[in-house]
Amino acid sequence: MSEETRILGIETSCDETAASVVENGRQIISNVVASQAALHAQYGGVFPEVASRRHIETIYPVVATALAQAHVGMQAIDAIAVTRGPGLAGSLVVGVNMAKGMALASGVPLLGINHLEAHLYSTWLQQDMAEPVFPLLGLVVSGGHTELVLMKEHLTYARLGGTLDDAAGEAFDKIARLLGLGYPGGPAIQVAAEGGDPQAFPFPRAWLDETWDFSFSGLKTAVLRQVRRHQPDLEAGVEVPRPGLPIADLAASFEAAVVDVLVGKTMKAAQEYQAHEILVAGGVSANRLLRQTFIEKSPIAVRFPPLALCTDNAAMIAAVGHQRYLSGQRDALDIDVLPTWPLAE
């Protein structure tokens, strides 16, 4: 079989409606992302019913635009790759139904794709990127997940660990809300931390040494305690600017604590499993301090997605679609969504 493919990717697992055409798993021909972030900012997080309703409104124009910008019709597409999970059930359904309808009408094969796997494959969406050298270690740090996996070859994962409570991105979002910095929290914390002292507050690091798991709840409580110390009258859940708080120092100290643990544990696992390279993907992989620290400390290559592809997009769904199409995957037109689908058992 020829290794050349042209895949249409569709993504609606959370608050981005996205479609993309990718050739050979690497070359992005079109990449359309309609973000709902502004819509959800008023709630301080993603509001599921609002998200699915917006996906319904935007999915047709987004997919049509991705095909139009790629100057292709469905007859030039080898497969439709769509996010099947994990994610919000009501949002996933919109993308999967769209993909099923198109597959039925065009006869083009349908491929259900795991969103976390797609985040890992976003690192290879760069034309100059070398082929992966296995085994490699993958860290997915997104709004919903923190997952550490060992990848022995393409499409093959052994789960080492993950978060026991909040995902890394979720921790960023919650602390940003606590500091009155708005949603999404990751970029807001990164900006607020500029000029702050990362050692101002010695926040706890949960090393959980006997495992490859992560926990950010103790850190979250420690930040809350500091905020309360400065603002004893703080009401839980109230999202207002907080005059008098040392925002830059709090943000920098929080960010440093998250980065320390993510980098420390990933590098330790890489050494233990003799990984040849490390992939770091998902929304939090856009974080500047995280990137810098990995690059400074790691003796082996660390690969990140291009900044624009760290957060949710459909190019990464099409990138996995390429590998899965070549591996022979073809899904039936009655597949269901899998809101809690793990990357590996």
> Going residue by residue from 279 to 318, which x/- string records binding to ligand KG4, judged by CB under 6 A?
---xxx-xx-----------------------xx------
Instruction: Please choose which of ligand KG4, Zn ion, none residue 117 contacts, taking the beta carbon within 5 to 8 angstroms, the exact cut-off set by kind.
Output: none
Looking at 8, 14, 34, 175, which residue binds ligand KG4 (CB under 6 A)?
14
Record the tokens describing residue 338, joined without a space: 């899998």
SS3 310: coil
Instruction: Please choose which of Zn ion, ligand KG4, none residue 185 contacts, taking the beta carbon within 5 to 8 angstroms, the exact cut-off set by kind.
Output: ligand KG4
- Among the listed ranges 138-146, 155-163, 200-208, 238-246, the one in contact with ligand KG4 (CB under 6 A) is 138-146
The rounded distance, in Å, linking the Cα atoms of 72 and 308 is 23
The rounded distance, in Å, linking the Cα atoms of 203 and 254 is 7
């008023």: which residue's tokens? Answer: 42
The rounded distance, in Å, linking the Cα atoms of 203 and 137 is 27
Instruction: Please choose which of Zn ion, ligand KG4, none residue 305 contacts, taking the beta carbon within 5 to 8 angstroms, the exact cut-off set by kind.
Output: none
- Residue closer to ligand KG4 by CB (options 135, 182) is 182
11, amino acid identity:
E
Q: Is 185 in the site for ligand KG4 (CB under 6 A)?
A: yes
């990362």: which residue's tokens? Answer: 198
Q: Is 143 in the site for ligand KG4 (CB under 6 A)?
A: yes
Q: Residue 325: phi, psi to the nearest 5?
A: -65, -45
Closest Cα to residue 63, out of 97, 111, 104?
Answer: 97
Looking at 17, 190, 226, 253, which residue binds ligand KG4 (CB under 6 A)?
190
Instruction: Please choose which of ligand KG4, Zn ion, none residue 169 contacts, taking the beta carbon within 5 to 8 angstroms, the exact cut-off set by kind.
Output: ligand KG4
Q: Where are the beta strands (DSSP E) in the chain?
A: 6-11, 16-23, 27-35, 79-85, 110-114, 136-141, 146-153, 156-162, 277-281, 301-303
Q: How far is CA 278 from CA 153, 154, 159, 281, 300, in A?
A: 13, 14, 14, 10, 7
- Least distance between Zn ion and beta carbon 83 (Å): 9
> Going residue by residue from 308 to 337, which x/- string records binding to Zn ion, judged by CB under 5 A?
----x-------------------------
Q: Is 142 in the site for Zn ion (CB under 5 A)?
A: yes
- Among the listed ranges 17-25, 104-112, 181-189, 263-271, the one in contact with ligand KG4 (CB under 6 A) is 181-189
The rounded distance, in Å, linking the Cα atoms of 96 and 11 is 9
Dihedral, CA of residue 36, residue 33, residue 116 and residue 309, to nearest 10: -120
Q: Is 11 in the site for Zn ion (CB under 5 A)?
A: no
Q: How many residues bind ligand KG4 (CB under 6 A)?
A: 20
Three-state SS across 177-238?
HHCCCCCCHHHHHHHHHCCCCCCCCCCCCCCCCCCCCECCHHHHHHHHHHHHHHCCCCCCCC
- Residue closer to ligand KG4 by CB (options 9, 186) is 186
Beta bridge partners of 113: 83
Q: Is 187 in the site for ligand KG4 (CB under 6 A)?
A: yes
- Residue closer to ligand KG4 by CB (options 198, 283) is 283
Q: Which of residues 22-41 bind Zn ion (CB under 5 A)?
A: none
Q: Which residues bind ligand KG4 (CB under 6 A)?
A: 14, 142-144, 169-170, 172-173, 184-187, 190, 282-284, 286-287, 311-312
Q: Which residues bind Zn ion (CB under 5 A)?
A: 142, 312
